[in-house]
Amino acid sequence: MTATRVLVLNSGSSSVKYQLLEMTDESRLAVGLVERIGENQSRLTHVCLRRGSPVASEGERRERVEEFADHEAALRAAAEELAADGLGLDSPGLAAIGHRVVHGGQWFTRPTLVDDDVLAEIRRLVPVAPLHNPANLTGITTAQTLSPGLPQVAVFDTTFHTTMPEHAARYAIDVGTADEHRVRRYGFHGTSHAYVSRRTAELLGKDPSEVNVIVLHLGNGASVSAVEGGRCVDTSMGLTPLEGLVMGTRSGDLDPAVVFHLVRVAGMTVDEVDELLNKRSGLVGLCGDNDMREIRRRIEEGDERAQLAFDIYIHRIKKYIGAYYAVLGRVDAVAFTAGVGENSPPVREAALAGLEGLGLAVDPAANEAEGPAADGARLISSRDARVAAAVVPTDEELEIARQTYALVTGREPRQTG
């Protein structure tokens, strides 16, 4: 049996998401989530979408609520559920496991087969990604224990951004200090920016090398990137995911002196400021809600705080569109993706309003409509717009699976088509 399946694992601090994909047709065989790992009421939700052997029925959803003390227990349980569907980790059809790793620093410029050196480097990056890399590491080492001999591939959120030129990646601070402590702009959500920029090129009927795209990944975390001919030349997140756009709970850009001010004048500790800027800022800090649906509902009722939060959020997006327009020189498309970008017509409309001078204009009906393509990707620009506007649902798991499969089979990653 040829091994044509890839298991994608996304290990967070208290959760593990997994998807098993059949790469010959890129279909999902099973998807699942283990939440609240380490608590006594952890929950595993598993959906078998297609049978591996005649055991489970298609589309069957199973739930387990019990204590999964750590990632190993969680992954073992996920492996049991897959095995119950005839899709276990020991099945000969499984080609590899692809792991999402948030921070790959400057040196991981491509997906990488995991070995001890790779693990050590991911560990060395923990100081710049204290929330994410430890969980990603645990996911990898647990998967190694559960499936010895199976190729484990690390796919980094930062990789797509390693093509940024030095003048975009460096902060204007003392070079010696920056280099000693690895302080530079790394960027995140790279797997999403890579997938969406390529899918946008396809939507325009062009090769990615021919188009320049501004990708707006607007989820609870949010980032924007400038993609020139398929290569990232700038992105809004930096050393950490705090920089850039206004997010659900993060401030995005601010004068760094705000930190000194809060420490010196408000008497806050550095950890308190860290928590303020990452957890109690952005939309939640401005109006108490970080869900765009709730913010829009409040605006409809005339809530001024919600309106101001929305306006600040949109103003920042506009500033980045302008900045990246200038960085790229010529823009073929602006693409919206992730929870807010895919589902909020008012955000898309407001973000592009008044940008007719840049060749951008939204068609109101297309902005509200569902997409004709199976994956929901569609153009929402008006006919006379010089620059396309697009909604492109992101698919980070598919991108991780493609890159993993390409690495273990020695082929180029496939495109959506």
Q: Is 85 among the catalytic positions?
A: no
Q: Any binding-site annotation on 146? A: no
Q: Answer yes or no whether residue 309 interacts with ligand ADP by CB under 6 A.
A: no
CA dihedral 115, 415, 326, 253 (to 10 degrees): -50
Distance separating alpha carbons of residues 289 and 306, to the nearest angstrom: 8
From candidates 52, 98, 139, 339, binder to ligand ADP by CB under 6 A: 339
From candidates 15, 220, 307, 409, binder to ligand ADP by CB under 6 A: 220
Q: Answer yes or no whether residue 191 interacts with ligand ADP by CB under 6 A.
A: no
Q: Answer yes or no whether residue 328 interacts with ligand ADP by CB under 6 A.
A: no
Q: Answer yes or no whether residue 224 interacts with ligand ADP by CB under 6 A.
A: no
> Minimum CB separation from ligand ADP for residue 249, in Å?
9
Task: Determine the interface stretch with ligand ADP among 15-23, 318-326, 332-340, 402-410 (rule: CB under 6 A).
Answer: 332-340
Q: Answer yes or no whether residue 290 interacts with ligand ADP by CB under 6 A.
A: yes
Strands 16-22 and 27-35: antiparallel
Whether 360 and 409 have beta carbons less than 8 Å apart is answered as no
| 241 to 280: interface string for ligand ADP, x by CB under 6 A | -------x--------------------------------
Inter-CA distances, 199 with 77, 228, 333, 414, Å: 34, 14, 11, 11
Q: Any binding-site annotation on 12? A: no
User: What's phi and psi for 268, nearest 5 deg?
Assistant: -80, 155
Distance separating alpha carbons of residues 186 and 51, to the nearest angstrom: 40
Measured from the CB atom, the residue of 139 and 241 that comes closer to ligand ADP is 241
Task: Determine the interface stretch with ligand ADP among 76-84, 339-347, 359-367, 407-415 (rule: CB under 6 A).
Answer: 339-347
Measured from the CB atom, the residue of 230 and 241 that comes closer to ligand ADP is 241
Identify the active-site residue in 157, 234, 289, 395: 157
Task: Determine the interface stretch with ligand ADP among 90-98, 138-146, 216-224, 256-264 (rule: CB under 6 A).
Answer: 216-224
248 three-class SS: coil
Inter-CA distances, 274 with 189, 235, 251, 256, 259, Å: 21, 22, 11, 12, 9
Whether 123 and 105 have beta carbons less than 8 Å apart is answered as no
Q: Answer yes or no whether residue 106 interacts with ligand ADP by CB under 6 A.
A: no
Whether 209 and 215 have beta carbons less than 8 Å apart is answered as no
Q: Answer yes or no whether residue 219 interacts with ligand ADP by CB under 6 A.
A: yes
Q: Any binding-site annotation on 205? A: no
Inter-CA distances, 382 with 64, 111, 215, 343, 385, Å: 48, 38, 19, 19, 5
**Amino acid symbol at 414:** R
Residues that bind ligand ADP (CB under 6 A): 219-221, 248, 290-293, 338-340, 343-344
Catalytic residue list = 157
